[in-house]
């Protein structure tokens, strides 16, 4: 679908939907919310094509849109069903299912550990670990200072390490 001024929404989807999907799923931990937010992002782009005018880093810009949409959703939801956060068993896992039992266990534990992180730390950890962004890029995408991004990542990693250490040692020993 070619839009005026050359905005190709289909190309944008093909290039960035996977990254946005994983980011939103990690933030919301809900497939239906993730789908709604992903659609909201692309509808915003289609409605106002000037949003992308002059944007150099499409990925960072789209992550920012997605992050803002997710934060808005969490704020709307925050007042009426705060208990949603407590139903970890009902949440959608970020990770693909694994055939190897050890790998499957590790992914389940990791998903659980991620779910325990505050949303802002989870967002930074996701962009660093699964998008490979630098702290400067994360800072741009989330509109925070780079030092804040770095400190949030350090806290998140410490918590993940503390939670996953026994399992991680087991997996390492099994591999060696």
Partner 1 sequence: MTPEIEPFEQRLGRQPVKPVPAAWRAEILAAARAAQPAAGTARPSPASWLASLFWPYPRAWAGLAAVWGFIFLLHFSLREAPPTLAQTAPAPAPSPEAVAELRQQQKLYAELMDAPGPREADRPRLAAPKPRSQRWDVAAA
Which of these segments, 58-66, 67-75, 82-90, 164-172, binds partner 1 (CB under 8 A)? 164-172
Segment near partner 1 (CB under 8 A); pick from 46-54, 57-65, 68-76, 135-143: 46-54
- The maximal CA–CA distance of the chain, rounded, in angstroms, is 57
Task: Put residue 4 in one of left, alpha, beta given phi > 0 → left and psi -120 to 50 → alpha.
Answer: beta
> What's the min distance (Å) between Cβ of 48 and partner 1?
6
Q: Rounding to the nearest 10 degrees, give the CA dihedral for residues 34, 57, 16, 26.
A: -30
CA 160 – CA 155 distance, rounded (Å): 9
Q: How far is CA 103 from CA 94, 147, 170, 175, in A?
A: 14, 33, 11, 11
Stretch that binds partner 1, among 69-77, 81-89, 127-135, 140-148 (CB under 8 A): 127-135
Q: How far is the CB of 173 from partner 1 (least distance, A)?
A: 13
Applying CB under 8 A, the residues found at the interface with partner 1 are: 1, 3-4, 9-10, 13-14, 17-18, 21-22, 25, 35, 38-39, 42-43, 45-51, 53-54, 56, 93-96, 106-107, 110, 129-130, 132, 157, 160-161, 164, 168, 171
């Amino acid at each position: 679908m070619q839009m005026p001024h050359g905005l190709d929404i289909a190309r944008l989807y093909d290039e960035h939907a996977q990254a946005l999907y994983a980011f939103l799923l990690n933030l919301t931990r809900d497939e239906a919310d993730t789908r709604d937010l992903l659609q909201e992002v692309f509808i915003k782009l289609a409605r106002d094509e000037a949003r992308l005018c002059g944007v150099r880093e499409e990925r960072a810009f789209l992550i920012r849109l997605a992050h803002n949409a997710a934060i808005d959703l969490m704020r709307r939801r925050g007042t009426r069903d705060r208990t949603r956060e407590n139903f970890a068993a009902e949440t959608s896992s970020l990770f693909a299912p694994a055939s190897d039992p050890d790998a499957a266990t590790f992914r389940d534990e990791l998903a659980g550990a991620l779910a325990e992180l505050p949303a802002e730390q989870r967002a930074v950890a996701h962009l660093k670990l699964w998008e490979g962004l630098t702290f400067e890029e994360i800072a741009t995408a989330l509109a925070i200072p780079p030092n804040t991004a770095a400190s949030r990542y350090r806290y998140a990693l410490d918590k993940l390490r503390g939670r996953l250490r026994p399992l991680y040692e087991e997996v390492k020993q099994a591999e060696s």
